[in-house]
Amino acid sequence: MKSVPPIHQLPAPFRLKRLLPVVLLLSAILASLYVAQHWYQHASQRIEQESRETVGVLMRQLQDILSERLVLDNLSQAKARLSATALHPRINTLILADEQHQVIFANRYLWQGQDAARVSGYRPREADEAMGRDQHRIELNEAGTVLSGYFPLVLDLTHGSLRGLKRGTLYVEFDMTAPLAAARSEAVEESLKTGALAVLGALLLSLLLDLWVTRRLQRISAAARRLGEGHLNERIGMAGDDEIATLARQFDETAASLARKQDALQQADAQLQEHVQFMHTLIEAIPSPLFYKDAQGRYVGCNEAFLTYLGKERHELLGKSVYDLAPKELADIYAAADRQLFDNPGKQVYESQACYADGSKHDVIYNKATFMDAEGRVAGLVGVMVDITERKRQEEELRLAAKVFDTSNEAFLVTDADNNIRSVNRAFCETTGYSAEEVLGRNPRLLSSGHHDKTFYRQMWEALNSQGYWQGEIYDRRKSGEIYPKWTRINVVKDDQGRVVNHVAVFSDISDRKALEERLQFLAQHDHLTGLPNRNLLRLRLEQAVESAMERGAGGINPVALLLLDLDHFKTINDSLGHHAGDQLLRTVVKRLKNILRESSTLCRQGGDEFLIVLPQAQDLARVSRAAETVLAALATPFEVDGHPLSITGSIGISLAPDDGSDFDTLLKKADTALVHAKQSGRNAYRFFTEAMNVSTLERLTLQQRLHQALERQELVLYYQPQLDLASGRVVGVEALLRWRTPEGLVPPGKFIPLAEETGLIVPMGAWVIQEACRQARTWLDAGLPPMTMAVNLSALQFHRDNLLITVGDALSAASLPAASLELELTESILIQDAEATLATLKAMNAMGVLLSIDDFGTGYSSLAYLKRFTVDKLKIDQSFVRDITSDGDSAAIVRAVVQMASSLKLKTIAEGVETESQAAALRATGCDEVQGYLYARPMPAAECEAYLRGKA
């Protein structure tokens, strides 16, 4: 509870000496205002009542007079009476109105005949109500200064100027402003008189109170102030028998009593201070954090150790609860424990956590006990914290170590200083096959395999004695007698005096790891499909062979040969029979090649269908050639894969060290160049690398780079070769043939077409050919030439990679060319790749109306099966058969068979490469439908071909 400040400390306006006169003065003012208001209110009510009575008397007299005069039809006397009444000084308005509220008479002449409501405060509704009830009505306006009265007149006039008038209303406005003003003046006068008397009385009363009360109270206040400042000998000594004097005497008695008690307290305080100092010293001497709380759980003290734990000053602790000092989850635990202890006074021990000043949490044990007050009630508790974090950490480490020791996948073996086994774990028993009982107390040499000699063990003990540890690979023996490798680390354990007390060995069985390493080493150097050495291992062996040959080269170096073997058309087998069949074929090829190669040779699979063969000490080119021929001959014998007989060939490129290079990359590059030439020579062949080959390769790379720019530079053009009906000699179509015109001249098709196939450029080039051929066909139609077919060759790459249907559709649409005017020539290899997708594309072409023909029929995988499945329109007989038709009976027979087969299938035939009349006659005899060749016309540019066509038209 807050103490009341002494009088001298109160603000000046609130001191009794000043406050009392102000209060009395305000009371006098309020009394005078009350008198004025009450006087005026009473006077205004009186004036209003008198005015109502006056109006009522005047108007009732006027009613009687008017009724009498109007009945007698003496209107002039009635108006005279009205005028006389209107002269009353407090009547502002006097109106006589008829039933329609029209003015019959008014105290203002101009109002005669007007609507009463328009010229005054007259309200028709109140007038009707007064007439309807036949009672007068008097009302006071909102300002309270004017009385409005409605007095009904009931007449029954049967003659005179007002004949027919039944009823009327007498309206009056009676002004009370003047009497009310006089009443206000009187009220002010009375208020001033009353106020003056009240002020005078207040001043006199204030003076008396100041002399008799205020000054005496000030003496008491001053004495109380000094007493509060510690002057216990202060006395007032006031005489008298009134209340204030009695209060002063009681004050003097209290001051004397306080002085006596102060002396006693000073003596007790000295004793208490001595006791408190002893307790404080005792508490601070306790090393553990100590605290004590009151019965509400608020901290009332602690030692320095507790403040250090909290990281707070003492004043920050006192009066606080656990929720002010600890995280909520811990404060909940502390508070619950305190409540339990207060409910069951005595001692309490429990384990919990404490949040230290640095934010870390420690494990602690709390020892608490309650203490009582003088009445035997629980006054609070005292508690001591014991930090057990380190102890628990050590216990946990021991538990973890024991768990790791027993559950570790690595085997543990612990011996004493004399190297006798004292402890082993589960992994040791599982690894060695011995139980713990079988090995405890024995020497670890019972595990020895005999694989290591005495030197090995001597070096191990030397490392243990000098470095305190040893690690390495050891071969040991299991209980079953099996010898196995293990990786072991042995540590020496010493006591504080440096004496050896234990040896700890940790080891693991590495049998699986070593087997895996060997397997990985094998896989890193061998092909996973065939088991052959891979490129990395072959590189090592080749370079070792070259290095060995160079070292023995004093009397002439025997060359080392590198053969790069590629299986011809292997992709066709993969695409037609599947990769499983291809893999099986590769394994069979490897088996056959191993049988024909010497043991000193190295066979390697480089990837896909490519193999590398290293022939060390090849001695001469003839021996290398025989080896290459042997390889090709081995491949010539058909293979059987999944019940299918397969015939394959191979192409081989050969480089020699040191003539062509001495490192693997150089030799491989040159063998690859030689392989390209072997393929270009017709495949199923081998070629040695020569410098001329290298030059040819460089020319090929240059040609490839220029070919990339041919479309952009518009260097590609189409030549056209006419196709004629063999019987009539009429031109029935032309074949569009791609040519490459460079600034240096035309590049032969046989030189750039295969390159375009290899690089994929054939796809955009083929799309351009279709677009240009359709455009030219449309141009010739528009020029008036007869309709004919435009034949365009398709490559297999273009057929399967390009969106061919869109390309053809766009070309026909752009040229507005009928689909039947376009004929697409397909090779047999296109038809046997991805047959289902090919069939879908061909059906779509048939639906569009595009004609289809098979080019070079009879030179590939000719089969009636795909002719039955795929709807085509024409077979094109290869020029190799046409060339020998007059000299080779087999060629003539093949041509006849193709023509007869096509006729039976309702297909047309066209022979290409016709150069002589005898060839044309022989074809005519077989029934062939169409021909093309140099006998009739060579391929020509568009302008020359158009002239030729016009000459034939």
Quote the pLDDT of residue 158: 47
Q: Tens digits of per-residue pLDDT, 404-419?
A: 666 677 888 899 988 8
Residue 688 reports pLDDT greater than 50: yes
- Domain 1-214 is in which class? alpha beta
Q: What angle do CA 57, 61, 62 make, to 5 degrees?
A: 115
Largest CA distance in the chain: 184
> Are 730 and 736 in contact, with CB atoms under 8 Å apart?
no
CA-based R_g, the chain, Å:
67
> Are 521 and 534 in contact, with CB atoms under 8 Å apart?
no
Residue 248 CB partners (closer than 8 Å, separation 6+): 216, 219, 220, 223, 236, 237, 238
Quote the pLDDT of residue 850: 92
What is the rounded average pLDDT of the residues 1-23? 53
Give the dihedral of Cα atoms 337, 341, 346, 350; nearest 10 deg. Answer: -10
Q: Tens digits of per-residue pLDDT, 559-600?
A: 888 899 998 888 777 776 777 888 888 888 888 888 888 877
Quote the pLDDT of residue 945: 95
Residues of the chain with CATH 3.30.70.270: 559-689
3-state SS assignment for residue 599: coil
What is the rounded average pLDDT of the residues 380-403? 80
Peptide bond into 658 cis (omega under 30): yes
Residue 832 reports pLDDT greater than 70: no
d(CA 607, CA 530): 11
Q: Tens digits of per-residue pLDDT, 323-349?
A: 988 899 988 998 999 999 889 999 999
Q: Record the pTM.
A: 0.38
Give the single-character DSSP code of 655.
Answer: E
What is the rounded average pLDDT of the residues 6-34? 62
What is the rounded average pLDDT of the residues 640-666? 84
d(CA 96, CA 127): 11
3-state SS assignment for residue 660: coil
Q: Which residue has the higher pLDDT, 717 or 22?
A: 717
d(CA 159, CA 134): 24
d(CA 917, CA 931): 12
CB neighbour burial string for 207-245, b if at least 16 within 10 angstroms, e if fewer: eebbeebbebebebbebbbebeeeebebebebeeeeeee
**DSSP labels for 42-98?**
HHHHHHHHHHHHHHHHHHHHHHHHHHHHHHTT-HHHHHHHHHHHHTSTTEEEEEEEE
Question: Hey, what are 369's tokens?
Answer: 């006990």
Given pLDDT bands bounded at 50, 70 and 90, which one contains residue 872? confident
Bridge partners (DSSP) listed for residue 502? 416, 493
Quote the pLDDT of residue 723: 95
CB neighbour burial string for 687-725, b if at least 16 within 10 angstroms, e if fewer: bbbeeebeeebeebeeeeeebeebeeeebbebbbbbbbe
Tell me how far CA of residue 191 lies from CA of 47, 181, 188, 203, 380, in angstroms. 19, 15, 5, 18, 70
d(CA 685, CA 228): 130
Q: Which residue has the higher pLDDT, 168 or 216?
A: 168
Superfamily of domain 286-392: PAS domain (3.30.450.20)
d(CA 809, CA 845): 9
Q: Tens digits of per-residue pLDDT, 536-557?
A: 777 888 888 888 777 665 444 6
Give the rounded percent of residues in the chain with a pLDDT score beyond 90. 17
Q: Is the dihedral of CA 771, 774, 779, 780 positive or negative?
A: positive
Q: How many helices (H) does the chain have, and how many strands (E)?
A: 32, 31
Q: Indicate the residue type of 809.
A: G
Q: Which residue has the higher pLDDT, 778 or 268?
A: 778
d(CA 159, CA 162): 7
What is the rounded average pLDDT of the residues 842-868? 73
Quote the pLDDT of residue 555: 46
3-state SS assignment for residue 542: helix
Residue 4 reports pLDDT greater than 50: no
> Are 568 and 683 in contact, with CB atoms under 8 Å apart?
yes
Q: Which residue has the higher pLDDT, 40 or 623?
A: 623
Average pLDDT, the chain: 81
d(CA 89, CA 96): 19
The size of the chain, in residues, is: 953
Q: Indicate the residue type of 721.
A: Q
Quote the pLDDT of residue 369: 93
CATH number for the segment(s) 559-689: 3.30.70.270
Could you tell me where the beta strands, DSSP code E, fall in 141-183?
146-154, 167-175
Least confident of 512-516, 630-634, 732-736, 763-767: 512-516
d(CA 179, CA 50): 11
Give the rounded percent of residues in the chain with a pLDDT score beyond 70. 87
How many C-beta atoms surround the C-beta of residue 189 within 10 A? Answer: 12
Q: Tens digits of per-residue pLDDT, 74-117?
A: 566 667 777 777 778 888 888 888 888 888 888 887 888 888 88
**Which of 259-268, 614-623, 635-644, 717-726: highest mean pLDDT?**
717-726
CATH number for the segment(s) 408-515: 3.30.450.20
Residues of the chain with CATH 3.30.450.20: 1-214, 286-392, 408-515
Quote the pLDDT of residue 835: 60
What is the rounded average pLDDT of the residues 120-124? 87
> Are 686 and 652 in contact, with CB atoms under 8 Å apart?
yes
Q: Which residue has the higher pLDDT, 611 or 620?
A: 611
What is the rounded average pLDDT of the residues 375-400? 83
Quote the pLDDT of residue 227: 76
Given pLDDT bands bounded at 50, 70 and 90, which one contains residue 356? confident
d(CA 81, CA 65): 8
CATH topology for the 708-952 domain: TIM Barrel (3.20.20)
Residue 791 reports pLDDT greater than 90: yes
Residue in the structure block whose two tokens are 């002063």 = 248
Residue 276 reports pLDDT greater than 80: no
Residue 286 reports pLDDT greater than 80: yes
Quote the pLDDT of residue 554: 46
What is the rounded average pLDDT of the residues 836-859? 80
d(CA 672, CA 934): 38
How many C-beta atoms surround the C-beta of residue 100 within 10 A? Answer: 8
> Are 425 and 408 in contact, with CB atoms under 8 Å apart?
yes
Residue 839 reports pLDDT greater than 50: yes
What is the rounded average pLDDT of the residues 662-681? 86
Tell me how far CA of residue 278 lies from CA of 368, 511, 926, in angstroms. 21, 74, 139
Name which of 357, 353, 381 is nearest 365 in CA terms: 353
Could you tell me where the beta strands, DSSP code E, fall in 328-439?
347-355, 361-372, 378-387, 411-416, 421-424
Least confident of 129-143, 236-250, 512-526, 537-551: 512-526
Quote the pLDDT of residue 916: 93
Q: Tens digits of per-residue pLDDT, 874-906?
A: 989 888 889 989 988 888 888 998 899 888 888
Residue 298 reports pLDDT greater than 90: yes
Given pLDDT bands bounded at 50, 70 and 90, which one contains residue 159? very low
Kind of pairing, strands 469-477 and 874-877?
A: unpaired
Residue 685 reports pLDDT greater than 70: yes
d(CA 413, CA 399): 18
Given pLDDT bands bounded at 50, 70 and 90, which one contains residue 149? confident
Residue 659 reports pLDDT greater than 70: yes
Residue 42 CB partners (closer than 8 Å, separation 6+): none
Q: Tens digits of per-residue pLDDT, 91-102?
A: 888 888 888 888
> Are 817 and 784 in contact, with CB atoms under 8 Å apart?
no
How many C-beta atoms surround the C-beta of residue 795 within 10 A? Answer: 20
What is the rounded average pLDDT of the residues 813-833? 83
